[in-house]
Chains A and B, each alone.
Chain A
């Protein structure tokens, strides 16, 4: 390759997708003296580094990472550490450090490379969770199916009435197993992509209207009225995955309808232009309230909020933090004819987190519940 066509090293490192840093230091006892003399674009974005030459600790302060860096700076050896960024979009990194040649001014130098291991860590955990959950949750319906098959082979063999009834129950159990698998797959998929921000554009009002149309017949069957109060079209636009936001609205509204008494009303509200505080402002005075998920805020964000209010049995305070746990269902609550999987709210929470939004709940026992999902507005 001709000399002039070869890109400069700095330029190449600058555009590497992995974060790369060079740390310089003179004195092992001066922790402020470990300075970032170079950070490529990926590193500047991840560590929110504004200017070169700042202290290393203002970018990374985890003791294990600092030790690994020291290993290369002052021990002349390669170092390695695992690092979790923490926060709502948790990411896992492997930090590798290498000693570099001492600079002309006598400063010791070390190269620091961060390798993103979020995907493999998630995959690993997801696979383990999926297997554990699926095998545990499928066991009950499977056992009951097996029981019925035995009965049908045995003393119910010639009883036409019993046979019909049992087959009905078996069909319901099989349907529940299918739902469980669907929900689990859906949850796994969402969790895998949770750290990747969505790309589409959508109007929350239109999505909510679609969900209302779809759920209206079911609600009518239960004698429940869906009462929307929405901002104008085109106002509540967000960056998001339409199918997923649909799933959020559908789960929250379905729950509200499911836990409403016959003749009850479910109020569905969409608001826009709210601050995070305004989005979770009290809407049910006297209620037990809890934020199940809150976004990392930088300041100045505006949110679109979807509020779903029912006048059902409500949820006692001690159950609130666990609602978005997988398979968690409030004990002794009758959920009507269709037994849920207890995955609905877990799915909702993960979708909202992927969209960098929040989820709050307010509930009064015996009076009803309000769920508020809020998402960053475009």
Chain B
């Protein structure tokens, strides 16, 4: 095989893309595992998720370094430039997903110390599946270079919000009905919020893919389910 310094820029871009896909796989696994940790009250699994997060950070830093290096030394243009920039940006979004998964895992550790709120954890599981599915679709679209698939994810952006809204209401009803559920309920609320934000990152990635393939920024209205009363965005996450 060729030594790195004789690699063509095309090869370098492709290996960047492959690393992003690998980071995507790591992020997906972290998300699946942190949701399992919540629903199964699995302490060792939650600890493993927390511990594995450094891998994602390191890989993202590596991708960033390589992308910047590539852009600076090879000065790619057109699609190759967009592909390098996209790799850099997608990696940042994936690394954030990893942080959110770690955060969920940490909260699951606290939750496992209180009484289970079974119906609510089921709602979390459902939302987790939805969000994981979106990330999967968008990463499939990325590795296959399928614009339509990415657009499909972008268009259905509101679905996660709807689930979050319902869960928010459900939780509120619970917490008002039984003060003992307030503390675990609050953790579940933040977990739901984190999942929602993972969904937002999937949407961002869909936009980046669109830019990478077409060179245009996505335009047009998403089908807003505008009748939804927007929830108050007073929830602040401490990260």
A residues apposed to B, CB below 8 Å: 26-27, 30-33, 48, 50, 55, 57-64, 66, 84, 86-88, 276-277, 280-282, 285-291, 294, 296-300, 316-318, 320-322, 325
A291 engages B143 (CB within 8 Å): no
Question: What does the 1/0 interface line of B154-197 toward A look like (CB < 8 Å)?
Answer: 01100100110111011011000000000000000000000000
Q: Given the known A-B contacts A32-B15, A64-B29, A322-B123, are A86 and B136 also in contact in the complex, defined by CB atoms under 8 Å?
A: yes
CA distance A316 to B228 in the complex (A): 13
Q: Given the known A-B contacts A27-B1, A294-B156, are A58 and B166 also in contact in the complex, defined by CB atoms under 8 Å?
A: no
A320 engages B149 (CB within 8 Å): no
B223 engages A281 (CB within 8 Å): yes
Q: Given the known A-B contacts A64-B29, A318-B173, are A58 and B18 also in contact in the complex, defined by CB atoms under 8 Å?
A: yes
Q: Given the known A-B contacts A277-B223, A299-B152, are A318 and B169 also in contact in the complex, defined by CB atoms under 8 Å?
A: yes
Residues of B within 8 A of A32 (CB): 11, 14-19
B126 engages A321 (CB within 8 Å): yes
Q: Given the known A-B contacts A62-B28, A299-B151, are A87 and B162 also in contact in the complex, defined by CB atoms under 8 Å?
A: no
CA distance A179 to B21 in the complex (A): 49
Contacts A87-B133, A299-B152 supplied; 10 other A-B pairs, CB < 8 Å = A27-B1, A55-B17, A86-B133, A286-B227, A289-B227, A298-B149, A299-B147, A317-B169, A318-B170, A322-B119
Q: Which of B1-56 contact A (CB under 8 A)?
A: 1, 11, 14-19, 21-22, 24-26, 28-29, 32
> Which residue on chain A has the smallest CB distance to residue B4?
A30
Chain B residues with a Cβ closer than 8 Å to the other chain, count: 50
Residues of B within 8 A of A282 (CB): 225, 227
CB distance from B106 to the nearest CB of A (A): 20
CB distance from A24 to the nearest CB of B (A): 10
B149 engages A297 (CB within 8 Å): yes
B155 engages A320 (CB within 8 Å): no
Q: What are 5 A-B contacts with C-beta separation under 8 Å?
A: A31-B22, A86-B133, A276-B152, A280-B223, A318-B169
B1 engages A290 (CB within 8 Å): no
CB-contact partner of B143 in A26, A30, A61, A84, under 8 A: A61
CB distance from A374 to the nearest CB of B (A): 13
Q: Given the known A-B contacts A26-B1, A30-B15, are A317 and B26 also in contact in the complex, defined by CB atoms under 8 Å?
A: no
Residues of B within 8 A of A291 (CB): 156, 159, 162
CA distance A291 to B156 in the complex (A): 10
The 4 A-B pairs at the shortest CB distance, nearest first, are namely A299-B148, A61-B25, A32-B18, A32-B15
B139 contacts chain A at the CB level, 8 A cutoff: yes
Residues of A within 8 A of B21 (CB): 55, 57-58, 61
B132 contacts chain A at the CB level, 8 A cutoff: yes
B74 contacts chain A at the CB level, 8 A cutoff: no
Residues of A within 8 A of B57 (CB): none
CB distance from A63 to the nearest CB of B (A): 5
Residues of A within 8 A of B151 (CB): 299
Residues of B within 8 A of A63 (CB): 22, 25-26, 29
A290 engages B25 (CB within 8 Å): no
Residues of A within 8 A of B146 (CB): 298-299
CB-contact partner of A55 in B14, B24, B28, B169, under 8 A: B14
CB distance from A18 to the nearest CB of B (A): 22
CB distance from A55 to the nearest CB of B (A): 4
> Which residue on chain B has the smallest CB distance to residue A84?
B32
Q: Is the interface of B mostly helix, strand, loop or mixed?
A: helix
Q: Which of B126-154 contact A (CB under 8 A)?
A: 126, 132-133, 136-137, 139-140, 143-144, 146-149, 151-152
Residues of A within 8 A of B140 (CB): 48
B18 engages A57 (CB within 8 Å): yes
CB distance from A86 to the nearest CB of B (A): 5
CB distance from A106 to the nearest CB of B (A): 9
> Which residue on chain B has the smallest CB distance to residue A35?
B18
Residues of B within 8 A of A300 (CB): 148
Residues of B within 8 A of A285 (CB): 227
Residues of B within 8 A of A287 (CB): 227
CA distance A276 to B21 in the complex (A): 28
A33 engages B15 (CB within 8 Å): yes
CB-contact partner of B18 in A31, A87, A296, under 8 A: A31
Question: What does the 1/0 interface line of B208-239 toward A look like (CB < 8 Å)?
Answer: 00000000000000010101100000000000
CB distance from B61 to the nearest CB of A (A): 15
B122 contacts chain A at the CB level, 8 A cutoff: yes
CA distance A325 to B125 in the complex (A): 12
Residues of B within 8 A of A31 (CB): 15, 18-19, 22
Q: Given the known A-B contacts A32-B17, A318-B173, are A288 and B228 also in contact in the complex, defined by CB atoms under 8 Å?
A: yes
A61 engages B24 (CB within 8 Å): yes
CA distance A26 to B156 in the complex (A): 41
CA distance A318 to B164 in the complex (A): 10
Q: Given the known A-B contacts A294-B156, A294-B159, are A33 and B1 also in contact in the complex, defined by CB atoms under 8 Å?
A: yes
Q: Given the known A-B contacts A277-B155, A289-B228, A322-B123, are A57 and B148 also in contact in the complex, defined by CB atoms under 8 Å?
A: no
CA distance A300 to B155 in the complex (A): 13
CA distance A242 to B219 in the complex (A): 41
CA distance A33 to B11 in the complex (A): 10
CA distance A88 to B134 in the complex (A): 10
A61 engages B123 (CB within 8 Å): no
Residues of A within 8 A of B25 (CB): 57, 60-63, 66
> Which residue on chain A has the smallest CB distance to residue B153?
A297
A317 engages B14 (CB within 8 Å): no
CA distance A105 to B152 in the complex (A): 43
> Which residue on chain A has the smallest CB distance to residue B140?
A48
CA distance A103 to B159 in the complex (A): 49
CB distance from B112 to the nearest CB of A (A): 22
Residues of B within 8 A of A57 (CB): 18, 21-22, 25, 143
